[in-house]
Chains A and B, each alone.
Chain A
Amino acid sequence: MTDVQPVLSGHNLVKTFGKVVGLNGANLELYPGEVLAVIGDNGAGKSTLIKCFSGAHIPDSGEMFVGGESVTFKSTQEARQHGVETVFQTLAVSPALDIASNLYLGREVRKPGFVGKVFRTLDKKGMRAASKQHLSDLGIGTVQNITQAVETLSGGQRQAVAVARAAAFGSQVIILDEPTAALGVRESARVLQLVKDLRDRGMPVILISHNMPQVFEVADRIHVQRLGRRAAVITPQTHTMNDAVAIMTGALTVDEADQTLGPVGAAA
């Protein structure tokens, strides 16, 4: 049933922080063109899991594959080079820098020709114009000034900048770690719409969220993380929100053999 190869997968990932166990043999598969939600209690290891794929953590053991290729990421830069873009739970924006600088942080574009080569002059105009385009692509018209420092933005606008950065540069996978946690109803709806838009463009998305209605609205499949491992993979069609919460808290356990579901559509 699963002749479709995952775009991103992890097998038996272990990550410890001294005595604290973050991941205890976790698996994850993300298939082309799907939204995979990752849910779980606080401390279940959701952020730790995706940080391995983002290059922010180096797993103690286990294997990771992106586009079928075995990968080991030693930095976020390396993950980005493989087309994996992440919006971290902490956003990872630089407050004192302006919006355009934040979008291009770590991958600045130099002016073409002699000036760029010898004087290493940044193409600020070009980066600003492109940033403006990216933001308006996402329907984020509320930011008037692209040279505004990020610290002068509201929480929702900052979130939008972080999401725009990932959406602009992700070529394989986009990972969003609780992107709506700090947002109001309207802004949350916009981010969810963005997730759907990305999927419609064929971009696979991993979405971490505590908000069950949101998860059940956008996810194709739902990865339930518990105690540093995957407890189950369910779908909005086969399970209810109550089932999901029961698996999350351990009230309901799923057989090891039934834990994985293939890509939606391939099964059935």
Chain B
Amino acid sequence: MSDSAAPQHDLAEEFSSRTSPMQKIQSTLHRYPYLSPLIVLIAAMIIFTLLNERFLLPNNLSLMTQQTVIVGTLAIAQTLVILTAGIDLSIGAIMVLGQMVMANLAVSAGASNVLPIAGQSPVVAIILGILVAMLAGAVNGFLIVKLSLPPFIVTLGTLSIFTALTLILFKARTIQGPEIPDLLKVMGNAFSIGPFQIMYGVIVMLVLYAIFAYILRSTAWGTHIYAVGDDPQAAELSGINTKRVLFSVYVVSGLIIGIAAWITIGRVGSASPNVAPNINLDTITAVVIGGTSLFGGRGTMIGTLLGALIVTVVENGLALAGLDQAYRVLAIGVLVIAAVALDQWIRRVKS
């Protein structure tokens, strides 16, 4: 097989290395999954600037960062969960629970819905609110890991349970801004850099993105999250304690949701059980548009941040262009389908 086989082999190699431009695009997107949302974001910003020059004004850019902050922060938690091939439908419910705990603990007894525990210092209130959110995440993690139930079903159930718990414990009453201590609302304050108004909450969100991007890329826990979402059996056989990784992901996502609850009080200026009713689906939208696969194992934090920004930019830009709500919703829907279709195509890459 030496003399006659050699040229044949070369021919085959030459043939297989003749990749089409489409294949090149495919493998590039496969290698850098945040590239497609980055292109979409830049394209959208150019188009909306051409449609209405007010789009690029510092005021509007600042506003868009503020419009992104709640979904953007929660989407960090959703990204961690989706990377493990899970999904969290209870993110909004946990966030509301967390902020109602914070607000009711921090206000004076007269303003609180739960008299015996009211009047705590704001620091204690914030910490307890975050701990409750982590506990709620732990409940999700426990049900998913110990009872081996699908995350979709578990979090569909806890979505109702946490929502009901919030209403039972804290009634349906909104706690108004003036009653809430300043520290709970501090995330909504802004400082200016030149003509831009930067909210503290936005800074916290960006810091969280940086931290979790680092964790995913450069720590063993991050690698294990990808491995568990990619192929749980292979991960287990490779010596990874998949159950512990999964459980810890839900607890850490609870921590992020707790911080998001604090940011939400600041951004909204009050604590209402009815805040952000579509937030669960909005976080999933941001994650998916950001190039993270719903099948788990691939995606990036920077992609999710871009995804959250794309949603804001499209809604804001279309509104400035004079289109009404229905068209904005339509546009987001089209983006989601396009993103999932793109993901399917990218996943088919082979050498």
Partners in one complex: yes
Expressed in whole angstroms, the Cα–Cα distance for A161 and B230 within the complex equals: 17
Interface string of A79-114 (1 = CB under 8 A from B): 010000010101111111100011001111010000
- Point out the residues of chain A lying under 8 angstroms from B235, CB to CB: 94, 105
Tell me whether chain B's interface is mostly helix, strand or loop, or mixed. helix
Q: In the complex, which residues 88-147 of chain A have their Cβ closer than 8 Å to any Cβ of chain B?
A: 88, 90-97, 101-102, 105-108, 110, 119-122, 124
- Point out the residues of chain A lying under 8 angstroms from B231, CB to CB: 94-95
- Tell me whether B218 is interfacial, beta carbon within 8 Å: yes
User: Is the beta-carbon distance between B239 and A97 smaller than 8 angstroms?
Assistant: no
- Tell me whether A152 is interfacial, beta carbon within 8 Å: yes
A83 to chain B, nearest CB (A): 13
B219 to chain A, nearest CB (A): 5
User: Is the beta-carbon distance between A108 and B223 smaller than 8 angstroms?
Assistant: yes
User: Is the beta-carbon distance between B230 and A95 smaller than 8 angstroms?
Assistant: yes
Q: Which of B220, B221, B237, B351 is most buried by chain A, counting CB atoms within 10 A of its CB?
A: B237
Given A76-B239, A94-B234, decide whether A122 and B219 contact each other with a Cβ distance below 8 A. Answer: yes
- Tell me whether A56 is interfacial, beta carbon within 8 Å: yes
Tell which of A56, A94, A106, A121 touches B297, judged by Cβ atoms closer than 8 Å.
Answer: A94
- Point out the residues of chain A lying under 8 angstroms from B234, CB to CB: 90-94
- Tell me whether A61 is interfacial, beta carbon within 8 Å: no
Q: How many residues on chain A are close to B (CB under 8 Å)?
A: 34
B30 to chain A, nearest CB (A): 7
User: Is the beta-carbon distance between A96 and B351 smaller than 8 angstroms?
Assistant: no
User: Is the beta-carbon distance between A107 and B239 smaller than 8 angstroms?
Assistant: yes
Expressed in whole angstroms, the Cα–Cα distance for A94 and B27 within the complex equals: 18
- Tell me whether B339 is interfacial, beta carbon within 8 Å: no
- Tell me whether B276 is interfacial, beta carbon within 8 Å: no
User: Is the beta-carbon distance between B297 and A122 smaller than 8 angstroms?
Assistant: no
User: Is the beta-carbon distance between A108 and B238 smaller than 8 angstroms?
Assistant: no
A134 to chain B, nearest CB (A): 16
Expressed in whole angstroms, the Cα–Cα distance for A152 and B231 within the complex equals: 16
Given A76-B236, A76-B239, A107-B239, decide whether A96 and B230 contact each other with a Cβ distance below 8 A. Answer: yes
Expressed in whole angstroms, the Cα–Cα distance for A107 and B231 within the complex equals: 17
- Lowest 9 CB-CB distances: which A-B pairs, in order? A106-B239, A92-B237, A77-B239, A108-B220, A152-B351, A105-B238, A92-B234, A96-B297, A94-B227
Binding site for B on A (CB under 8 A): 54, 56, 75-77, 80, 86, 88, 90-97, 101-102, 105-108, 110, 119-122, 124, 148-149, 151-154
New A-B pairs, 16, CB < 8 Å, besides A120-B219, A122-B218, A152-B27: A54-B237, A56-B236, A77-B239, A88-B237, A93-B234, A94-B226, A94-B235, A94-B238, A96-B297, A97-B223, A105-B239, A106-B240, A119-B214, A121-B219, A152-B30, A152-B351
